[in-house]
Amino acid sequence: MYILGTKEEVNSNLQILRNNNKTIGLVPTMGALHQGHLELVKIAKQYSDIVVVSIFVNPTQFNNQEDFEKYPKTLDKDLEILNNSEVNYLFLPDTEDIYPSKPLLSIDFGHLDKILEGSFRPGHFNGVGIVVSKLLNIVKPHIAYFGQKDLQQVAIIKRLVQDLSFDVQINVVPTVREEDGMALSSRNLRLDPESRKAARIISKALFFAKSELLLGRPWLSIRKMVNQMFESEPIAKLEYFELITSDTFYVLESIGEEKSVSICAAAYFSDVRLIDNVSIFD
């Protein structure tokens, strides 16, 4: 695996490959790599000749400075993981390379960034939109891969690509879970053993709610039961638990005629905030 530190290095290495009709897949990450990232790499390798992983902890998508500072950074381990994978290039830029100056641009995603993650983390999707645009412009991949765990981010990025006519296909890869159902996330590294044990309540509540919904129980009654589950777990603080349309993120009170519906949740365990979601019909 080759490490590329600057836009210029990316350009000179990848242009030759593009000229030789090689397809390029990009897996953007913020490091602290886990099996979920490796799943993105595995799928990328199936669909692209060349796989580029980027690691950049993007300051502009953190609405909270402490969260940015505490974001897990495990570069040595990440390099070891990537060296043992099928990744061809790692793009490891400095902050100055990505942000030579503070962006003046701000992106308004309309309704999509006003609810759930958008409303609890103001400015977060603006930062995601800017950095993803930059990565797409620098790497110019044919396909970019994102995890389904960040479902609202996926919806935002699909709209970004559509509205700005980026010449890239967005592939979404299913969430990888631990044996107890807990979704893999870099932030899990910040959980102490007690919080980790408590945190399985998120996936438990999501899968419980999904099966009750499919059995025909009304959503409002399910949500009441989920609130009670969370109230009985002292470490957990539920932030939201919503039934939504998966692509457009409209909040629903029943499944109705919708074809693509998900339940999204966010909760704190001590000071660690986790998100997860399940799709209802697959």
Q: Smallest gap, in angstroms, from Cβ of residue 58 to ligand PAF?
A: 4
Does residue 36 bind ligand PAF (CB under 6 A)?
Answer: no
Please name the residue ranges forming H helices in 216-250. 219-231
Which residue is associated with the tokens 């530190």? Answer: 5
Q: Exactly one of 34, 37, 124, 142 is catalytic; name it.
A: 37
Name the helix (H) or strand (E) containing 22.
none
Is 61 a binding residue for ligand PAF by CB under 6 A? The answer is yes
Q: Which residue has the tokens 């559509």?
A: 162
Return the number of the residue (164 or 225) whose C-beta is nearest ligand PAF: 164
Interaction of residue 97 with ligand PAF, rule CB under 6 A: no
- Least separation in angstroms between residue 211's CB and ligand PAF is 28
Rule CB under 6 A: choose which of 51, 107, 128, 267 binds ligand PAF.
Answer: 128
**Shortest distance in whole angstroms from residue 28 CB to ligand PAF:** 4
Neighbouring residues of 40: CB distance < 8 A, sequence distance ≥ 6: 27, 29, 145, 146, 147, 173
Instruction: Verify binding: residue 150, ligand PAF, rule CB under 6 A.
Output: yes
Q: Residue 199 and residue 230: Cα distance in Å, rounded?
A: 10
d(CA 31, CA 130): 18
Least separation, in Å, of the C-beta of 24 and ligand PAF? 17
Q: E-assigned strands of 21-112? A: 24-29, 50-55, 89-91
Residue 4 or 198 having the CB closest to ligand PAF: 4
- Given the complex with ligand PAF, which of 25 and 28 has the nearer CB atom? 28
Q: Can you say whether the dihedral through the CA atoms of 140, 113, 281, 187 is positive or negative?
A: positive
Q: Among 4, 14, 30, 136, which residue sits at the site for ligand PAF (rule: CB under 6 A)?
A: 30
Does residue 28 touch ligand PAF according to CB under 6 A?
A: yes
Q: Would you count residue 175 as binding ligand PAF (CB under 6 A)?
A: no
> Segment near ligand PAF (CB under 6 A), from 125-133, 202-210, 252-260, 267-275?
125-133
65 Cβ neighbours under 8 A, 6+ residues apart: none
* Size of the chain, expressed as the number of residues it contains: 282
Q: Which residues pair with 170 in a beta bridge?
A: 144
Total of chain residues touching ligand PAF, rule CB under 6 A: 10
133 binds ligand PAF (CB under 6 A): no
CA nearest neighbour of 50 among 6, 83, 17: 17
Known catalytic membership, residue 37: yes
Task: Provide the pairing of β-strand 2-4 with 24-29.
Answer: unpaired
Nearer residue to ligand PAF within complex by CB, 72 or 181: 72
Query: Distance (Å, rounded) from C-alpha 232 to C-alpha 282?
Result: 30
Q: Which residues bind ligand PAF (CB under 6 A)?
A: 28-30, 58, 61, 128, 131-132, 150, 153
Active centre residues (catalytic):
37
